[in-house]
Amino acid sequence: FQAHFSEDRKKTFFHSSSYTANPIACAAALANVEIWRDEPVAERIAVLSARQAAGLQRFRVNPYFTDCRTTGTIAALDLRTGSAGYLAEIGPKLRAFFLERGLLVRPLGNVLYLLPPYCITSDELGGLYDAIEEAGERFGSRP
């Protein structure tokens, strides 16, 4: 903070807050407001939330996964592996596995964190769940 603070205005760094009136960020925000105004975004979110909750049901009975959970459109589940936690060695392997399939999944160690875009289709979401199931078979451990 001290590097940006000065009573002498000639020494003040006026752009220390990158979010303040950034033209690109403002244009993106305005476009987002238009989408929320013109499209049924709230309905999409409700549908996606229900799809996430229903989609994770298949992993509740899958021996390779544990602690399946959702909150709104966010879903997470733990892959049973030899190690757990954010630093589990499986994380980079999972990231590569999903990227090879064109999927952006956030593995936090052995935890798969899913936040799909609100415009995802049922088929795309089903493909994501299929890939997760494949990852379980490839990298998971049975209890």
pLDDT digits 0-9 by tens, 4-60: 566 776 665 555 556 567 788 889 999 999 999 999 999 999 999 999 999 999 999
Q: For residues 61 and 125, state if they share a domain.
A: yes
Torsion of CA 113, 118, 119, 120, to 10 degrees: 30
Q: For residues 19 and 47, state if they share a domain.
A: no
What is the extent of the structural domain holding 15? 9-38
Domain assignment present for residue 58? The answer is: yes
Cβ atoms within 10 Å, residue 6: 11
- CATH of residue 55's domain is 3.90.1150.10
Q: For residues 15 and 68, state if they share a domain.
A: no
Domain count, the chain: 2
Q: For residues 30 and 78, state if they share a domain.
A: no
Domain assignment present for residue 4? The answer is: no
Burial class (CB in 10 A: 0-12, 13-18, 19+), 132: buried
Contact 11, 2 (CB under 8 A): no
Torsion of CA 49, 52, 53, 55, to 10 degrees: 150
Percent of the chain with pLDDT over 90: 69
Nearest-10 crossing angle of helices 122-139, 41-55: 30
Q: For residues 68 and 113, state if they share a domain.
A: yes
Predicted structure pTM score: 0.78
Q: For residues 81 and 125, state if they share a domain.
A: yes
Residue 140's closest CA among 67, 74, 45, 66? Answer: 66
Q: For residues 76 and 26, state if they share a domain.
A: no
Please determine, for residue 97, whether its predicted confidence score (pLDDT) is greater than 70. yes
Alpha helices of 56-116 — where are they, by DSSP H? 57-60, 90-100
Structure confidence at residue 125 (pLDDT): 96
| Residue appearing with tokens 């244009």 | 27
